[in-house]
Amino acid sequence: MERHTLRIAQRLTRQTRRWIVGAALVTALGGTGCSTPLDDARLAWADGEGQLDNADAKYREAMNDPDLGDLAREELRDIYLELGKAADKEGKAIKAEEYFRKALELDPKSEDAYSGLAGALQDLMRYDEALAIATRGYEDAGCRNCHRQMAVLLIRRGDAYMQESRWSEAEVDYAAALDIIPDAAVWLAVVRARYAQKDLAGSAKGLKSATELVLQNDLENRRQYLELRRGVVLLALEQGDVPLADELLDLAPVGVEPEEQVGLAMEVAMEFNRQGKPDQALARLMAIVDAAAAGKLKLTPERLEQIRDRVATIYATRAKMRLAEGDTAGADADIKEAIGMRPGKSSLLLQEILLLAGKGKLTDARAKLAKVDTSAKGHKEVTAILAALKAIEYAEAGKLDAAKTELALAKRNGKELPEVHIAIAAYLAASEPSLYKKEKSALRKSGLVKYPGGKIVRAGEALSELDWSRQQLQGLGAGYPYRAPGIEAKLEALHKQLVAFYPFAVKFFGEPKATLLIRNQGGAELSVEMVGRSWKKRAKVAPGDTATVTLKNPGFFEMTYGDQTATFVAEPYTEVALTL
DSSP-assigned states of every residue in 183-200: SHHHHHHHHHHHHHTT-H
| Listed range (49-63, 411-425, 426-440, 511-525) with the worst mean pLDDT | 49-63
Across 400-430, b (16+ Cβ under 10 Å) vs e yields beebeebbebbbebbeebbbbbbbbbbbbbb
Q: Average pLDDT for residues 185-213, to the nearest whole number?
A: 94
Q: What is the pLDDT of residue 326?
A: 86
Q: Spell out the residues 6+ positions from residue 139 whose beta carbon is closer than 8 angstroms to its own.
A: none
- Cα–Cα dist 397/404, whole Å: 13
* Residues 112-166 pLDDT 10s: 999 999 999 989 989 889 989 998 998 888 898 999 899 999 998 999 999 999 9
- What does the radius of gyration of the chain's CA atoms come to, in whole angstroms? 38
**32: Cα within 13 Å, side-chain hemisphere:** 0
* Under 8 Å between Cβ of 20 and 44: no
pLDDT beyond 80 at 167: yes
Backbone φ and ψ of 461, nearest 5°? -65, -35
pLDDT beyond 50 at 502: yes
Q: For residue 384, what pLDDT band results from cuts at 50, 70 and 90?
A: very high
- Cα–Cα dist 236/264, whole Å: 13
| Listed range (10-24, 138-152, 263-277, 292-306) with the worst mean pLDDT | 10-24
pLDDT beyond 90 at 535: yes
3-state secondary structure of 539: strand
* Residues 354-364 pLDDT 10s: 999 999 999 99
* Residues 434-482 pLDDT 10s: 999 999 999 999 999 999 999 999 999 999 999 999 999 999 888 888 8
- Cα–Cα dist 520/540, whole Å: 9
Domains of the chain: 350-503 (1.25.40), 514-579 (2.60.40.1120)
* Under 8 Å between Cβ of 83 and 4: yes
pLDDT beyond 90 at 578: yes
Q: For residue 34, what pLDDT band results from cuts at 50, 70 and 90?
A: low
User: Smallest Cα–Cα separation from 421: which of 374, 468, 473?
Assistant: 468
Q: For residue 281, what pLDDT band results from cuts at 50, 70 and 90?
A: very high
Strand order through the sheet with 546-551: 506-508, 574-579, 514-519, 546-551
* Residues 218-248 pLDDT 10s: 889 999 999 999 999 999 999 999 999 999 9
Q: Average pLDDT for residues 538-558, to the nearest whole number?
A: 94
Averaged confidence pLDDT in the chain: 89
Q: What is the pLDDT of residue 105?
A: 93
More confident call, 10 vs 368: 368
Phi-psi region of 505 (alpha: psi -120 to 50; beta: other; left: phi over 0): beta
Q: Average pLDDT for residues 549-557, to the nearest whole number?
A: 95
Task: For residue 447, give the H/E element and its range.
Answer: none
Q: For residue 22, what pLDDT band results from cuts at 50, 70 and 90?
A: very low
Q: What is the pLDDT of residue 363?
A: 95
| Listed range (38-47, 105-114, 230-239) with the worst mean pLDDT | 38-47
User: Smallest Cα–Cα separation from 464: which of 429, 417, 500?
Assistant: 429
Q: What is the pLDDT of residue 433?
A: 95
Q: Which amino acid is at 297?
A: L
* Under 8 Å between Cβ of 545 and 527: no
Q: Average pLDDT for residues 404-428, to the nearest whole number?
A: 97
pLDDT beyond 90 at 390: yes
For a pLDDT cut of 70, what percent of the chain falls above it? Answer: 94
Q: What is the pLDDT of residue 296?
A: 82
User: Smallest Cα–Cα separation from 157: which of 198, 181, 122, 183?
Assistant: 122
Q: What is the pLDDT of residue 31?
A: 44
Q: Average pLDDT for residues 404-432, to the nearest whole number?
A: 97
* Residues 251-270 pLDDT 10s: 899 888 877 889 899 999 99
Helix axes 418-429, 459-476, angle to 10 degrees: 170
pLDDT beyond 50 at 528: yes
* Under 8 Å between Cβ of 551 and 570: yes
Q: For residue 201, what pLDDT band results from cuts at 50, 70 and 90?
A: very high
Evaluated on CA atoms 169, 172, 176, 178, the torsion sign reads: positive
Q: What is the pLDDT of residue 2?
A: 52
pLDDT beyond 70 at 517: yes
Q: For residue 58, what pLDDT band results from cuts at 50, 70 and 90?
A: confident
Q: End-to-end CA distance of the chain: give it in Å, rounded.
A: 79
Q: Spell out the residues 6+ positions from residue 70 whose beta carbon is closer than 8 angstroms to its own.
A: none
CA 502 from centre of chain? 37
